[in-house]
A and B are shown apart, each in its own frame.
Chain A
Amino acid sequence: MNNTQEKTKSKKQTIIIITLALVLVGCLVTAAVLLLNKPKEEPLNEPAKGVVGVIKDNWDTQVSSEPTDSPSQAKKGTQIPGYSSAEMNAGDMSIKLRIGNPKENHVGFYASLKLADGTVLYKSPLLSPGQGLEEVPLTQTLTKGTYDAIVEYKCVLLEDGKTPLNSAESGLKIYVN
C-alpha cells in the first residue's frame, strides 16, 4: 500500500466518522426536541379528597339545569339527587355513581352508600354545594348479584358543618356482573 492510498483511506474514514457523528448528533437533537416539546401537564386545582376517592369541586348532577321556578316562586329547600341503578363487576373496589351536593343548595351533605342490610360501602366527608364524586370507592367488594341499596344524604348547616337538618335517602339497585 502506497502513501496516496493510505491518505485516501484515512480521508474516507474521517468523512465516515464525521458523518456518523453528525447522524448521532442529529438523532439526539431530534429526540431532545421531541421530548422537550411534549405538552406540559397543567396543574389541576387539587380537589378535596375524602378518605379514599376524588371529590370534585365542580360536580354536576348532569341533569338539565334550567330553573323550573323563579326565585320568588321557589320555596327554600334542599335538592336531593336520586338514582335508578348502578353497575359494577364482582371484585371491583369502586362503583360509578354520581354522589354529590347540587350546586344550587345552601346546606352541607354527608353522603353514605349503604346496602339495605345496613352494610356501609362508602361515607363521604362534608360535601359543600357543587362538590361530589363520579366514582365511589368501596369499603368492600360485592359478589355477583342484585342488591337493594340507598344513598343517604345527611344534611347539615354549612356554617358549622354539624347542625342537622332534614335528611333524605335515595333507594337504588346495584347490579354486580
Chain B
Amino acid sequence: MKFKKIITISLAAAMAMTATVSAAAAELTEQNPTGNTEVTAHINGSAGNVSYIITIPDVVDFGELVQPSNNDNFYKYVDYEVKATKLEGLPDLHHIGVYVKDQNAVVKGDTDFYITNKNDPSIKFKYDVFHRPIDDTTQYTISINSDTMTGTAGYKLYDFFYEGDTLDGTLRLNQNQLYGRNITDIAGEYSGYMVFFSTVEENP
C-alpha cells in the first residue's frame, strides 16, 4: 500500500511537471513571443503617425555678392521651393499652413531675415522673402516680411491643400547694402537660416 501511494504521488508529480513544461513552451510562440498575455485596445490610427511631409530648401544661398558703385537698388534674386511632398491622414476640410521666419526672429523684436558674416556676426545684410516666382517679382512686389510678424510661427508663407502642391518662391537681397563699406571689412562667407513652421489648419 505504501508503495502504491508513493507511485501515485510520483506519477501525479511527473504528470504535473510535464503539463507545466508544455504550458510554458506553448506560451512562447510567434503570436505571443514574450509569453505575456496582453490586453489591447483600439488606438486612433493617425495619432502619433506622420500625417504629411513638407520639403523645404536646405540653405539660403545668394552666391557671390557684388559691391555696387552707387547707392541705387541693385537686387540679387534666388529662387526656392517648398513642396507638400506627402499629404495623408489629414482630417477632412483641413490643409497644411506653412509659415517662415528668420532663425533669430522674435515677435515684437527684430523680425527681418538676415545673412550674417560667419567670422563677424555683427556684419549682416537683410533679404526679403516672396511667395511668388522670380519672374513675377519686381522691385515693386511686396515681400511677406513687409508685414508685421505677429506669431512665433513666423510669416504666413503658403497653404497646401493637395499632395504635390508646390510654392515657387523668391529671395531678394539688395546689394546696395554693401555700398560704401570697406570691402576688406565685409569680405567673407555669409549664411542665413530660415525656420519653416507647418501645422494642420481648418479650410477657410
Contacts and interface: CB of A to CB of B under 8 A. Distances in A.
B193 A166 contact: yes
Nearest to A76: B58
A82 B50 contact: yes
Contacts of B86: 61, 63-64, 68
7 contacts: A20-B6, A20-B11, A31-B21, A34-B22, A61-B86, A166-B57, A166-B193
A168 B50 contact: no
A168 B53 contact: no
Categorize the interface residue count of chain A: 35 or more
Categorize the interface residue count of chain B: 35 or more
Q: Helix, strand, loop or mixed for chain B's interface?
A: mixed
A141 to B, nearest CB: 16
A80 B58 contact: no
Contact of B88 (A30, A64, A171, A175): A64
A34 to B, nearest CB: 5
B188 interface: no
Nearest to B197: A169
Contact of A87 (B28, B47, B88, B89): B47
A90 interface: no
Interface of B: 3, 6-7, 10-11, 14, 17-18, 21-22, 25, 28, 43-44, 46-60, 81, 83, 85-86, 88-91, 96, 103, 153, 163-164, 191, 193-200
B58 A27 contact: no
B49 A38 contact: no
Closest 10 CB pairs of A and B: A171-B199, A96-B48, A77-B55, A82-B52, A61-B50, A81-B50, A87-B47, A86-B48, A168-B196, A31-B21
Given A77-B55, A81-B53, A166 B25 contact: no
A24 B48 contact: no
Contacts of A150: 197
A119 B40 CA distance: 31
Interface string A90-114: 0000011110001000010000000
B170 to A, nearest CB: 14
Nearest to A13: B3
A164 B81 CA distance: 19
Interface string A43-68: 00000000000000000011110001
A23 B200 CA distance: 69
A158 B133 CA distance: 30
Given A79-B85, A102-B53, A175-B47, A169 B195 contact: yes
A23 B11 contact: yes
B21 to A, nearest CB: 4
Contacts of A30: 18, 21
Given A16-B3, A24-B10, A77-B81, A167 B193 contact: yes
